[in-house]
Structure 1
Amino acid sequence: MFQKILVALDTSTSNRSVFEKALTLAKALQANLTLLHVPSPEEEGSPDISLLSSSEYYVGLGMSTEILEIQQKHWKNFLEQGLEMLRSFTDEAISSGVSTEFSQKPGSPGSIICEFARNGKFDLIVIGRRGRSGLSELFLGSVSNYVLHHASCSVLTVQHPLSASKTETAQLEEVTPSI
């Protein structure tokens, strides 16, 4: 059924649940895993690299090259953090007996994930979903929604659980009348 599973991960704390679901599925199906991280400026926790795209322009305006170097350093650290996450999950999967490899490709997450899956002839994409809706999805976008509508294979979305504080806040708002 599913022999090649692509697992799209980001560096958020909820990536573990996506990985664990994919690993459980791969063990049950004796499938191969490929872990993919697509670093982008839109990723939660990523450094602001907007100045790096046209650094000559900002230097021409008198901005310090030190600021640009600091931004480059933050971006490199972010990329290394992504690679370390991928290595750690790959080691864990291999030690569980699942053939696993990884890749990191900066860019637009939705399109990179779909292109990677198509080119690699994957049977399934496993991806997390934060549950954005309404205006936040409109303005911030939804990678999982894009992948679900553009992937060339099946897609399994893993809903990230709401944190306790968000759940409690939502419950309080429901029972607290506004004055």
Structure 2
Amino acid sequence: MEELEAELAQLSGKLELARESLKRLRITRETVTEVLAEMEPEMPVVAVDAGPPRSGERVVSAYAGAERRVIGVLTVPNWQPGMMPDVLPSAYRDIVEVVADAPGPIRAKQIVPRIGLPAETGKIEGTRAKLKRLVERGWLDEEAPGLWACSPSSTACSGSCCG
């Protein structure tokens, strides 16, 4: 009986910790939802459809008035025909413009000083991560490992902004 009571006390403690963690997660989700709802309209928000909202959950409008539960925000949208770099966050837009202005494929360490960052390893790696994200989303191509160029299908480099 004493062993069962000890086990019950231990499980009760774990249950209380789990409840507290869940409470913090709910508060965090509410805060993120409020912040996203107040975001500037110029910044694109892409919400992942997570099904119907649960009780007490707020719904936020995303692109084209579609109402969805917000789970994550896609700050770098997938390139689609007609999209220009001005829909990208400024750091990504600067990178696309530098790549577009380059006479050929360019390396991350060449891009970093052109976007106003010091040529430090951390800044180069951060820029490389942004370049990879731009490739994943169709804005740029990686011609060879570490060489970045405009995507032939993207208007990011062939549109009016990039000549």
Fold shared by both chains (TM-score > 0.5): no
Q: Which has the higher contact order (CA 8 A, sep 6+)?
A: 1
TM-score (norm 2): 0.30
Q: Which structure's residues are more often strand, by fraction?
A: 1
